[in-house]
A and B are shown apart, each in its own frame.
Chain A
Amino acid sequence: MQSWFYEIADYSESLLSPGEEISLHLKGERTGFSRISAGKIRQAGSIEQRNLELALRSSGREVRMNLMLSGDMSTDRSPLRAALDKLSRTLESLSEDPHLPPLPDSGSSESRFEGELPSKSEMIQTLAGEIPLAESCGIAMTGIMYRGMATSNAVRRWYEAPLTLIDGSMHLTQHSGAAKWTWSGRDWNPEEAQLRKDRALSSLELLSRPMDTPAAGEYRTWLEPAALRDLLGPLLWNGAFSARALAKGSSPFTSLHNGRVLDSRVSIHERPLAVGAPSFGDLGFSLPDTIPLIDSGVGTGRLTSPRTAMELGLNSNGVNGDEQVSAMEMSTGDLSSDQTFEAVGDGLWLSHVHYCNMAAREGARVTGVTRWIALRVRNGKPVGPVGTVRIDDSVLRLLGEGLLQIGDQSEILADTHSYVSRHPRGNSLPGILVDGLRVVA
């Protein structure tokens, strides 16, 4: 796919008129998937797509187009030529863009990873089949993801990586409990995946015990890495670290840049290498190895796209236009992962928080509900599942005065979302122990 993409880039450049510049960004994938419901196949198949984004610019104006191409140069030349003609005509009707940033400087990089992918049968069998007293559901996806970047000023960047992702769950048939498990990696490792699956399976006994649902109130709680990711999620897509949102005051983390501090043990960075993400963004700029966002509890950095930098007079760090994290890493602490129940003592232990949303910008208040492994803990031991309860609390408080301990191990949480296409991104997070997590209903 790389040689085809570079040929597309060369051809596109050959079609430019004097004064025109172009950048091309490819998102490609070859993905096989098997979706399982109650141990049986609901849908199974393959997807191949080559989505090319063209950005044509001239005289301080830019226009963009996404074009799905076939992968065959003899077929793709014609739509590419038509697209550039159309973009060129559209450009003529536009006024000058006062905040148009320059294209990335010339440069090249190539990240090509290799790994073994599971066969169709292995993918299916990972989730299919019968489980005593439970049903298996989920999706297995495998294949290679491609990202390419080229500009008319000689930038050539390439990223190619295999990724297998198993996103599964086991659902008790006689009770309402269910446990989620995931495995992801570049090199298919069925033994590791089986270990993850077995771990979820072993939790089903706990989930089949009588429910011990807490009343509304405040609870000392261990949040697994995925639960912390869930709570942070709506803050991130509401511009938590976005330079533009911070400048406008709409970021839920605005107060962290106006004197408020989190617990000094909290440090958060954007670090693509931590989760195997590409080292360049959608705009073709090379990303820094690390962008500090919160350092020892203090809001220090922000994600500044080239456009925001131009508009607001800031320094860009080359991130995408949406200024959202794609590879967030949080520093670990000292609570051993096998001590979490004891550390809770009397309270809750949550693997996830479902369907979170920002309830109020002030205080970065987030609401969501318990799902998957949600346990009542008494005397340092899990006693049974909690029913569905609603959580509504300030994340600034949970990472500030409410933070008791941070886990000593991070988990790499690959992005399981596949809207439009699969995405090579994720987070690396520890779990946290918090005081007084607010349960409202």
Chain B
Amino acid sequence: MTPQEIQELLGRVAPRGTWCSLRIVETHNESYTVRDDALLPPRSTTDRGAMITVVSGNGQGIAATCDLSPGGLYQAARVALDWAHAASDQGVVDFSKAPRPQRSGTWSHPVEKPWEESTPKEIVDRLRSSCLSMAGDERVVQRVASLSRSCSETTLVTTDEVVIKQKHDRIIPWLQVLASDGSDVQTRTNGGRSDAQLGGLEVLDKVNFDGLGSQIREDALETLLAPICPSGIMDAVIGPAQMVLQVHESIGHALELDRILGDERNYGGTSFVKTEDLGSLRWGPEILDVVIDPGVEGEVCSTGFDDEGLEAEKVSLIDKGRLVRGIGGSLSAQRLDMEDEAIAVTRACSWNRPPIDRMANLNIEPGKTPMKDLIGGVENGIWLDVNSSWSIDDRRWKFQFGVEDARLIENGELTTRVKDAGYRSTTIPFWNSLDAVGDADTWQVRGTPNCGKGEPNQMVFVGHAMPACRFRDLEVFGREG
């Protein structure tokens, strides 16, 4: 259906005297996996459905349906109307006064090498080659090379005649080596599930997918033989793939307005950040600049609008170390009397879930310190990269993370590889121990498909473009924790 046909359809099914929106999402996923040189059955998904939102009086109801026929949508609109009536006078806000989409538009992004232009055989051959490149040592007990593509088209129309159409095409490359010497097992991957990018198969060239296999194998074998990470307080340089997780957990979730409002406290949790902290809290040193940037080429949450129709633009969250604003869309901002602070981050994972406040492209801006100086500025410390374990409390304050890639730094140089490394700290003291931000050469555009939140639960993509960063006096430990 064209957006205009969908608009017309909404006009036919919308209950009289109500405001309605209709969001249709069509997603095509494909996934190929070669494990130990054997192709697993390829998988694909064609998922199509609609969510209709009805505001009647001050109540709001929603209905998600896989039946996109006029009759199916008509029925869904009646179900949503019933919910709006049942919810009357009991909502967190008067939904008749809730913000609504204002402008129509379309958005898509460049794709240099469309997925469809490669045959399944070409993709499988590429994966077989990558899988084979990870072989060559009897201690390698499992090798996995996989490639997934997720292409979503979203059309949002309202009874105010706003029409928004967007398309996102995402690639998720994955390489994994499991190495064992009989007494220990170590895993290495291409980036700990942080290699998703927007685009076509050109993404594989950007991340050097075809050339990574042998290096991952060598890293796995080296890690297997490495000594266990020493415990102690030490300086740390954290690489971009671990910074993804660090920022995601201890800045992104902590700043979500629905957590601060308390909506998420039955599931993901709340936040140590209070509304009075917005605009004033010293989060870190002046070298820390954190932004939501929907315009970064290739980053998975680059977009034109959010799922409630708000236009996306680059905004600062932490400016020179000071907290400027939280991560919340129009409704959350209105509930906090901060309408001007709303940003386009209200997203749903698909047609069958309502939009909520999410991180989008949450990035640290590159600093000025080259990698050699980041490392060179550490006398006795550690390099930490590629996440393997993550745990943080429900207020996003006390965290403990583990990494795949750890090497000692001695007298300003990377030296011995160590294994089973982890570190723990608390959010604000940790960020205030930041003393150098890597320059643009250390900055990597990364992303993950696995951010879980909301009730009913939702899993979405999030983008994180990160430089390497240096922190002083971090509590680091090895296998015994």
Chain B binding surface, main DSSP class: mixed
Give the number of residue pairs across the A-B interface with Cβ within 8 Å: 240
Given the known interface contacts A41-B92, A93-B119, A357-B390, the answer about A48 and B142 at a Cβ–Cβ threshold of 8 Å is no
Q: Is A331 engaged at the interface, CB distance under 8 Å to the other chain?
A: no
Cα-based distance from A148 to B392 in the complex (angstroms):
38
Instruction: State which residues 445-481 of B face A: CB under 8 Å.
Output: 452, 455-459, 479, 481
What residues of chain B lie closer than 8 Å to A304, measured between beta carbons? Answer: none
* Nearest Cβ on chain A to B252's Cβ, whole angstroms: 15
Q: Is B43 engaged at the interface, CB distance under 8 Å to the other chain?
A: yes
Q: Which of B61, B80, B266 sits near A169, CB closer than 8 Å?
A: B266
Name which residue of chain A comes closest to B79, CB basis: A46
Cα-based distance from A55 to B456 in the complex (angstroms):
28
A63 and B456 contacting across the interface, CB-CB below 8 Å: no
Q: Which of B42, B64, B120, B424 sits near A46, CB closer than 8 Å?
A: B64
Stretch at the interface among A109-117, A137-145, A291-299, A337-345: A137-145
0/1 interface trace, chain B 115-155, chain A, CB 8 Å (1 if under): 00001110010000000000000000110000000000000
Q: Is A16 engaged at the interface, CB distance under 8 Å to the other chain?
A: no
0/1 interface trace, chain B 73-92, chain A, CB 8 Å (1 if under): 00010011011001100111
Cα-based distance from A100 to B38 in the complex (angstroms):
10
Q: Which of A40, A70, A368, A419 sits near B91, CB closer than 8 Å?
A: A40
Q: Is B208 engaged at the interface, CB distance under 8 Å to the other chain?
A: no
Given the known interface contacts A98-B38, A362-B420, the answer about A72 and B391 at a Cβ–Cβ threshold of 8 Å is no
Instruction: State which residues 25-42 of A face B: CB under 8 Å.
Output: 31, 33-35, 37-38, 40-42
Instruction: State which residues 75-96 of A face B: CB under 8 Å.
Output: 75, 79, 83, 86, 90, 93-95
Q: Which of B187, B479, B481 sits near A367, CB closer than 8 Å?
A: B481
0/1 interface trace, chain B 40-78, chain A, CB 8 Å (1 if under): 111111111100000000011111111111001000100
- Chain B CB within 10 Å, residue with most, of A37, A63, A362, A371: A37
B261 and A37 contacting across the interface, CB-CB below 8 Å: yes
- Chain A CB within 10 Å, residue with most, of B83, B119, B124, B184: B83
Cα-based distance from A71 to B65 in the complex (angstroms):
10
Instruction: State which residues 41-82 of A face B: CB under 8 Å.
Output: 41-51, 55, 61-72, 75, 79
Given the known interface contacts A120-B82, A139-B456, A355-B394, the answer about A68 and B66 at a Cβ–Cβ threshold of 8 Å is yes
What residues of chain B lie closer than 8 Å to A392, measured between beta carbons? Answer: 400, 481
Q: Is B265 engaged at the interface, CB distance under 8 Å to the other chain?
A: yes
Q: Is A361 engaged at the interface, CB distance under 8 Å to the other chain?
A: yes
Name which residue of chain A comes closest to B452, CB basis: A419
A367 and B391 contacting across the interface, CB-CB below 8 Å: yes
What residues of chain A lie closer than 8 Å to B65, measured between beta carbons? Answer: 48
Q: Is B180 engaged at the interface, CB distance under 8 Å to the other chain?
A: yes
A354 and B44 contacting across the interface, CB-CB below 8 Å: no
A124 and B92 contacting across the interface, CB-CB below 8 Å: no
Cα-based distance from A292 to B428 in the complex (angstroms):
47
Q: Is B402 engaged at the interface, CB distance under 8 Å to the other chain?
A: yes
What residues of chain B lie closer than 8 Å to A99, measured between beta carbons? Answer: 38
* Nearest Cβ on chain B to A68's Cβ, whole angstroms: 5
A419 and B479 contacting across the interface, CB-CB below 8 Å: no
Name which residue of chain A comes closest to B93, CB basis: A40
Cα-based distance from A61 to B61 in the complex (angstroms):
46
A139 and B266 contacting across the interface, CB-CB below 8 Å: yes
Q: Is A168 engaged at the interface, CB distance under 8 Å to the other chain?
A: yes
Q: Which of B46, B69, B91 sits near A65, CB closer than 8 Å?
A: B46
Cα-based distance from A62 to B269 in the complex (angstroms):
42
A359 and B389 contacting across the interface, CB-CB below 8 Å: yes
Given the known interface contacts A369-B393, A419-B458, the answer about A250 and B41 at a Cβ–Cβ threshold of 8 Å is no
* Nearest Cβ on chain B to A90's Cβ, whole angstroms: 6
Given the known interface contacts A70-B67, A359-B389, the answer about A250 and B263 at a Cβ–Cβ threshold of 8 Å is no
Given the known interface contacts A360-B479, A419-B457, the answer about A250 and B393 at a Cβ–Cβ threshold of 8 Å is no
A70 and B68 contacting across the interface, CB-CB below 8 Å: yes
What residues of chain B lie closer than 8 Å to A422, measured between beta carbons? Answer: 456
Name which residue of chain A comes closest to B119, CB basis: A93
Q: Is B354 engaged at the interface, CB distance under 8 Å to the other chain?
A: yes
What residues of chain A lie closer than 8 Å to B62, measured between beta carbons? Answer: 43-46
Q: Is A329 engaged at the interface, CB distance under 8 Å to the other chain?
A: no
Q: Is A190 engaged at the interface, CB distance under 8 Å to the other chain?
A: no
A368 and B391 contacting across the interface, CB-CB below 8 Å: yes
Q: Is B199 engaged at the interface, CB distance under 8 Å to the other chain?
A: no
0/1 interface trace, chain B 407-420, chain A, CB 8 Å (1 if under): 00000000000001
A55 and B41 contacting across the interface, CB-CB below 8 Å: yes
Instruction: State which residues 348-395 of A face B: CB under 8 Å.
Output: 354-362, 365, 367-369, 371, 388, 390, 392
Q: Which of B92, B185, B452 sits near A42, CB closer than 8 Å?
A: B92
Q: Which of B59, B263, B266 sits near A167, CB closer than 8 Å?
A: B266
Cα-based distance from A9 to B240 in the complex (angstroms):
48
Cα-based distance from A176 to B352 in the complex (angstroms):
33
Name which residue of chain B comes closest to A418, CB basis: B456
What residues of chain A lie closer than 8 Å to B262, measured between beta carbons? Answer: 37-38, 135, 137, 171
Q: Is A97 engaged at the interface, CB distance under 8 Å to the other chain?
A: yes
Name which residue of chain A comes closest to B95, CB basis: A41
B66 and A71 contacting across the interface, CB-CB below 8 Å: yes
Name which residue of chain B comes closest to A251, CB basis: B185
What residues of chain A lie closer than 8 Å to B67, measured between beta carbons? Answer: 48, 70-72, 75
Cα-based distance from A254 to B72 in the complex (angstroms):
51
Cα-based distance from A371 to B392 in the complex (angstroms):
11
Given the known interface contacts A70-B67, A171-B262, the answer about A97 and B45 at a Cβ–Cβ threshold of 8 Å is no
B389 and A357 contacting across the interface, CB-CB below 8 Å: yes
Q: Is B274 engaged at the interface, CB distance under 8 Å to the other chain?
A: no
* Nearest Cβ on chain A to B254's Cβ, whole angstroms: 14
Q: Which of A31, A64, A137 sits near B42, CB closer than 8 Å?
A: A64
* Nearest Cβ on chain B to A22's Cβ, whole angstroms: 13
Q: Is B178 engaged at the interface, CB distance under 8 Å to the other chain?
A: yes
Q: Which of A83, A135, A360 sits near B420, CB closer than 8 Å?
A: A360
* Nearest Cβ on chain A to B39's Cβ, whole angstroms: 7
B49 and A68 contacting across the interface, CB-CB below 8 Å: yes
Q: Is B173 engaged at the interface, CB distance under 8 Å to the other chain?
A: no
Q: Is B248 engaged at the interface, CB distance under 8 Å to the other chain?
A: no
What residues of chain A lie closer than 8 Å to B47, measured between beta carbons? Answer: 51, 66, 68
Q: Is B109 engaged at the interface, CB distance under 8 Å to the other chain?
A: no
Q: Which of B86, B178, B184, B420 sits near A248, CB closer than 8 Å?
A: B178
Q: Is A210 engaged at the interface, CB distance under 8 Å to the other chain?
A: no
Cα-based distance from A62 to B400 in the complex (angstroms):
42
Cα-based distance from A90 to B41 in the complex (angstroms):
11
0/1 interface trace, chain B 332-368, chain A, CB 8 Å (1 if under): 0000000000000000000010100000000000000
Q: Which of B178, B267, B392, B456 sits near A141, CB closer than 8 Å?
A: B456
0/1 interface trace, chain B 150-185, chain A, CB 8 Å (1 if under): 000000000000000000000000000010101011
Given the known interface contacts A35-B455, A440-B424, A441-B424, the answer about A46 and B63 at a Cβ–Cβ threshold of 8 Å is yes
B392 and A355 contacting across the interface, CB-CB below 8 Å: yes
Cα-based distance from A93 to B398 in the complex (angstroms):
51
Cα-based distance from A79 to B67 in the complex (angstroms):
13
Name which residue of chain A comes closest to B122, CB basis: A93
Cα-based distance from A276 to B259 in the complex (angstroms):
34
* Nearest Cβ on chain B to A170's Cβ, whole angstroms: 10
A362 and B49 contacting across the interface, CB-CB below 8 Å: no
Instruction: State which residues 223-274 of B face A: CB under 8 Å.
Output: 261-263, 265-267, 269
Can you report 14 A-B residue pairs in the complex whose CB atoms are below 8 A from each other? Answer: A45-B63, A61-B41, A63-B43, A64-B44, A66-B44, A93-B121, A94-B120, A139-B266, A139-B455, A362-B420, A367-B389, A388-B393, A392-B481, A440-B424
Interface on A for B, CB 8 Å cutoff?
31, 33-35, 37-38, 40-51, 55, 61-72, 75, 79, 83, 86, 90, 93-95, 97-100, 120-121, 124, 128, 135, 137-139, 141, 167-169, 171, 178, 180, 248-250, 254, 311, 354-362, 365, 367-369, 371, 388, 390, 392, 417-420, 422, 438, 440-441
* 4 A-B pairs closest in CB distance: A45-B62, A139-B455, A418-B456, A62-B41
